Structure 1
């Protein structure tokens, strides 16, 4: 069998998944827990009812937006670690618009639209800071992004316990909830908003088309593959790098806006819920191929939500899902490196 064949690559991916499961199972055995029982509880927690499935989709939507944004910066050869902060700034910007307009005579539909738009702009501008530091200041985007994440988190805490605190007292539960007229409509009896789902799917489709079927996407790939060569061929690399940051930040900001408008209906301290980092993991796991973003992000969302069962049923920490997610990415990257080494020798 030819080493570079499709089946060979598929076998490598399967081996990586198996190794990740073996690694996680060893961790569970050390913790004196039965691996099969833990995996079963995660599945039950994710898919045992319509309510559970829709809750997984609620997690999937912001993760999908974060993953789609990460794919854009990955394509440009950039590691936008600051997606967490961009989600947070999207949420802050959305909350700001809602607070300013909630008692006005403006139609609730228009307020919601402006709030979503504000979230997109807030995330994009926060990403632009990281992009400017990288493009014009020579600051590595990993360090710039991480620093801005801390600033965004601190800003959220300050707003919740300061200018936007609940009447009489600041609370870790967040700001005062908005009136339900300013919520995105949800399916009766469930937490899922069709509008959120539509926004998430449209964002991924647009990113797929942008990266696969446009001159912009082709030039962005050229910048990511070899920045110096792209510049020699007349591609304004700085402009494309900044564009990648803006698009990624805008999509992350949308995730933050949806967290406020469709999930929590207020600003809370951990509004980003780790989706920025998870989005980066999804991007690495799918080898930057947008077509696989939806199913892999859904798998991660199911792990995230289903792991809530672990402390309830087995007295295990729910962070086990993070161990499995990290192990998957680690072993996939490791096995891909092994594959490339064998292909070079062949």
Structure 2
């Protein structure tokens, strides 16, 4: 019972802090909660938007589970998503109308995943070969990816006669992923995301590869002694993370925006980091936490209209939740920290 209370304490405390902030802003916490719920699930369009946002969160979160399992604090997931969107757009421009629509869509999805793999592998090489921290390598690659998108949107791929934040010319309608009842929800995107999460849970829990990643996360040097090639497993984790994030980027282009825009990621890569940390890096908790964050993001858009409260309040709640969850005694310790502590004890 005490274990359950300890795990629920961060959520309860964060909700209490946000309720106090609402009171300071002159808004009723109950009214804010009701507005968030109505904004997220008050209509079919809003609910569809929640699940449309859930798909890339699940894909990016699934990829991050691999890198976290290997003890890597991978902040380059945002750049991998962006590169996936860029490569998918490029594939659409090359393949259509020379290929049938179904093959062109498949080519876009594959190109997005491969672009993410490349970007993840480059980050992994910087870490394993050049000894650059995965944190700084990932952040640096994010900036490069974003710069490439801006160059293309305002340069070679700009709309005829104008370059704007609206992005490139829309893709042909034949390349758009079908949606549910005219809403923003693409069943294809959601099914791919759910399948990716299920496969991730299976691989990490039931395969030798998942066991090797766990060994690397607990201590790369010890893993090498036991015959596990740490650098290779880290590169594999980066590549898999990149593939899933790149696929998420391709789905953003084909299913959501139907073009390449400067903010194609909508910061979903960074949001996925918060989701994974709040889920305690557990695949079983990833989906409900991601759904909660997605609902917060969509529901918060109604706060300014109904209560005059800034929509950024949802970001405050998300940040406080993650911070308090990280401080919780039941949050899994960082793999590298556990390994360092073990080394100090034996020295």
8 Å CA contact retained: 2:6, 2:330: no
TM-aligned CA deviation for residue 27 of structure 1? 2.4
Residue 54 of structure 1 corresponds to: 48
User: 5+ residue gaps in structure 2?
Assistant: 334-347
Output one character per residue of 1:254-289: Cα deviation in whole Å (capped at 9) or x when no partner: 110000000110001111111111111111111111
Q: Distance in 1 between matches of 2:43 and 2:141?
A: 39
Alignment correspondent of 2:306 = 313
27-36 vs 15-24, greater mean Cα deviation: 27-36
Structure 1 unmatched runs, 5+: 1-6, 341-346
Q: Which residue of 2 aligns with 1:294?
A: 287
**Stretches (4+) displaced over 3 A:** 337-340
Counterpart of 1:307 in 2: which secondary structure? helix
Aligned with residue 125 of structure 1, among 97, 103, 118: 118
RMSD between aligned residues: 1.4
1:137 CA drift (Å):
0.6
TM-score in terms of structure 1 length: 0.94
Kept in 2: contact 1:12–1:339 (CA 8 A): no
Of 316-325 and 297-306, the range deviating more from structure 2: 316-325
Question: For the Cα contact (< 8 Å) 1:76–1:244, is it kept in 2?
Answer: yes
Matched, 1:94 2:88: yes
Deviates more, 1:313-322 or 1:263-272: 313-322
CA positional deviation for 1:144: 0.8
- Report how many aligned residue pairs link the two structures: 333
Q: Find out whether 1:103 has 2:100 as its counterpart.
A: no
Report SS of the residue matched to 2:328.
helix
Aligned equivalent of 1:4: none
Mapping of residues 232-311 of structure 1, within 5 Å:
232-311=225-304
2:340 is matched with none
Deviation at 1:172, TM superposition (A): 0.6
| 2:40 matches 1:40 | no
Check if 1:177 corresponds to 2:151: no
Q: TM-score when scaled to structure 2? A: 0.93
Contact 1:81/1:142 (<8 A) preserved: yes
> Matches of 1:151 and 1:30 in 2, distance apart?
41
After TM superposition, give the deviation of residue 316 of structure 1 in Å.
2.1
